[in-house]
């Protein structure tokens, strides 16, 4: 019985880790579109209607360009939340992160997420 519990715990941990390592282009579904991808960057355009969520996903180092302003709530992998208000034209840097972002504003928001890939030697 102990082996079964250990196996079950390992399987649960693996599935939870995979759930948090999802790709935003997949979790945000129709609200996300990859507009450029090469060996150095991937650019994702997000068009989030009010109430829409990106789903829990992960990024490596990235830049976020806010094409429109708006309000959002981010839920981090550990369950903590933070409210955000952004203006059109703002740009921010983000270290690797796992989170979900929900548009809490009254209008659609548009952003570009520029994910940096590992540089080749």
**Domain membership flag for residue 23:** yes
**Domain membership flag for residue 87:** yes
Q: Give the per-residue pLDDT at 11.
A: 42
Mean pLDDT of the chain: 86
CA angle 50, 86, 76 (to 5 degrees): 75
Are the beta carbons of 83 and 8 closer than 8 angstroms? Answer: no
Please report, for residues 11, 28, 36, 39, 65, the alpha-carbon distance to residue 43 in angstroms, rounded to integers and kept in the order given: 33, 14, 5, 12, 10
Q: Give the per-residue pLDDT at 98.
A: 95
Domain count of the fold of the chain: 1
Q: Give the per-residue pLDDT at 118.
A: 83
**Domain membership flag for residue 121:** no
Q: pLDDT tens digit string along 59-117?
A: 999 999 999 999 999 999 999 999 999 999 999 999 999 999 999 999 999 999 999 99
Q: Which residue has the tokens 């094409």?
A: 67
CB neighbour list of residue 60: distance below 8 Å, 6 or more residues apart: 96, 115, 116, 117
Question: Domain containing 56: what range?
Answer: 2-116
**Domain membership flag for residue 73:** yes
**Domain membership flag for residue 14:** yes
**Domain membership flag for residue 49:** yes
Q: Give the per-residue pLDDT at 65.
A: 98
Q: Give the per-residue pLDDT at 119.
A: 64
Q: The domain that contains 33 carries what CATH number? A: 2.60.120.10
Q: pLDDT tens digit string along 29-75?
A: 999 999 999 999 999 999 999 999 999 999 999 999 999 999 999 99
**Domain membership flag for residue 78:** yes
């Amino acid at each position: 019985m102990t082996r079964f519990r250990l196996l079950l715990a390992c399987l649960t941990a693996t599935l939870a880790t995979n759930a948090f390592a999802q790709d935003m282009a997949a979790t945000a579904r129709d609200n996300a579109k990859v507009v450029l991808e090469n060996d150095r960057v991937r650019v994702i355009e997000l068009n989030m209607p009010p109430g829409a969520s990106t789903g829990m996903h992960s990024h490596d180092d990235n830049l976020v360009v806010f094409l429109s302003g708006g309000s959002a709530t981010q839920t981090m992998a550990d369950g903590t939340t933070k409210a955000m208000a952004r203006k059109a034209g703002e740009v921010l840097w983000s270290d690797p992160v796992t989170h979900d972002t929900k548009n809490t504003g009254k209008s659609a928001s548009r952003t570009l997420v520029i994910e940096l890939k590992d540089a080749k030697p």
